[in-house]
Structure formats: C-alpha cells, structure tokens
Amino acid sequence: MLVSQTTLNLVAITIFSLVISTLLGPLLHIPEYVPAIAAISILGIATLDTLSWQGQAGTLLLDWLASFSPEHRARVIRHEAGHFLVAHLLEIPVTAYTLSAWEAFRKGQPGQGGVSFGSEELDTALEQGIISAQLLDRFCTALMAGAIAESIVYGDVQGGADDRQKFRTLWAQMRRPDAEGEMKERWFKLQAKTLLETNWAAYEALVIAMEMGLSVEGCCQVIDHHQIEVAL
C-alpha cells in the first residue's frame, strides 16, 4: 500500500515541529515529554489515516491549514477554472466541481476536490480496448489545462501532480511507450495553452463565477455567453 503524499507531508511537518520544539523547549520551559507525546500521537493518527482512511484525514488537515491563505484559494480556483473551461470547450461534460478537500468531503467525493468530468465515453473505450486519437486528445488536454492556467497566471505551477499521474496511469493502461507519452504530454499542454489564451475572457469570467460558487450549469452559461459574444 502506498502512503499518500498528504500523509507524508503531515509526517514531515511533525518531524520538523519535533526538532524545533526540542531545540526551543528549554527556552520556552516546555517539558521534554510534551513534544514526544504530541509527535507519537500525530504519527499514530497518520498511520491510521494511511491504513484505514486512504490518506483522507491528512488531506483534510493540510487543506484546513491552507484555507487560511487567500492566495492559496485563489490559485486553486484558477487551476480548476482551467480544467473546467477546456473541458467545456471540448464538449466533455463537467458533472461537478469543488474547491477544497473539505467541500469534497461534505459532498461525499474522495480526494482533494477539483473538477469532475463525465468520463463514461472514455471508460467505455478503455474497456473495449479501442480509444480514438480524438477522444484521447480531448480528455488529456482538459487534464493538463489546470497546470497550464496556473503557469499563465502566476508564471509557475504548484498543483497538477495528480493530473500528471492520471495521465500516466491512462497511458500505461493503453500500453504505449513512455517516450511517446512524454511527447504527447507536451502536445496536450500546448493545446490547452492555445485554448486558454484564445478564450481568456471566458476564463476570467469563469473564475469569478466559481469564486461566487455558481452551479455547474451557471458556470457553463457564463462560458457560452462569452462564446456568443466572440462569435458576434
């Protein structure tokens, strides 16, 4: 069983805090047993989280800590808006979106939240072992669009590790060469960047709509409205 990245992050934070508290404990008059008990408790919870909760508790805790940063939430929204816009433009149905692990947890969704695609068409193609190049291009371009949106807005990328892993898992399912997968990944990123830059006004309007918490239908209407304006 693989340990989730969020649980590993939690363990790293615990170890760092233990070291700092050990160094500063005498100055702050903290009894020596307090950091040890706290560390053992947190590591025990992290172990239980990995074995029983698939890392969800660690994800929720780190998400809660990050929620105190408006900059973090803004980046998350802009990342997810990239996925949403490109998926809609490529006629991939968006079934839901959440902007935090807590929101996803309340809605009964696993993971850290994000944009959920209607993937029945892709799933059916994978089961049959026949997936068209067009279908692959659409889904993988939407998958890469979050990180590309981040890079355009901020000049760097902090999210997207899960997206890249999903792509690599999909590529492995297709049993295609890794070298070809790396080349295709670059191509999908380029496609996503072109779509985002071409439809930037719709993207910015979508970011505002998602900040307001509009429904999926409302967000799609915002995109369509801007598409009509461009056509006119």
How many helices (H) does the chain have, and how many strands (E)? 11, 2
The residues, any chain, with a CB within 8 Å of residue 131's CB and separated by 6 or more, are: 122, 125, 174
Full domain range(s) for residue 26: 5-66
Let me know whether 134 and 172 are in one domain: yes
Q: Are residues 25 and 112 in the same domain?
A: no
Same domain, 133 and 106: yes
* Residues 61 and 74 both lie in one domain: no
Q: Is the pTM of this model over 0.75?
A: no
Nearest 5°: phi and psi at 221? -65, -40
Number of separate domains in the chain: 2
For position 67, what pLDDT does the model report? 55
**Residue pLDDT, tens place only, 25-58:** 565 555 665 555 655 665 555 554 444 444 455 4
Q: Are residues 81 and 97 in the same domain?
A: yes
DSSP secondary structure code for residue 96 in this structure: E
| H or E segment and range at residue 115 | strand 114-117
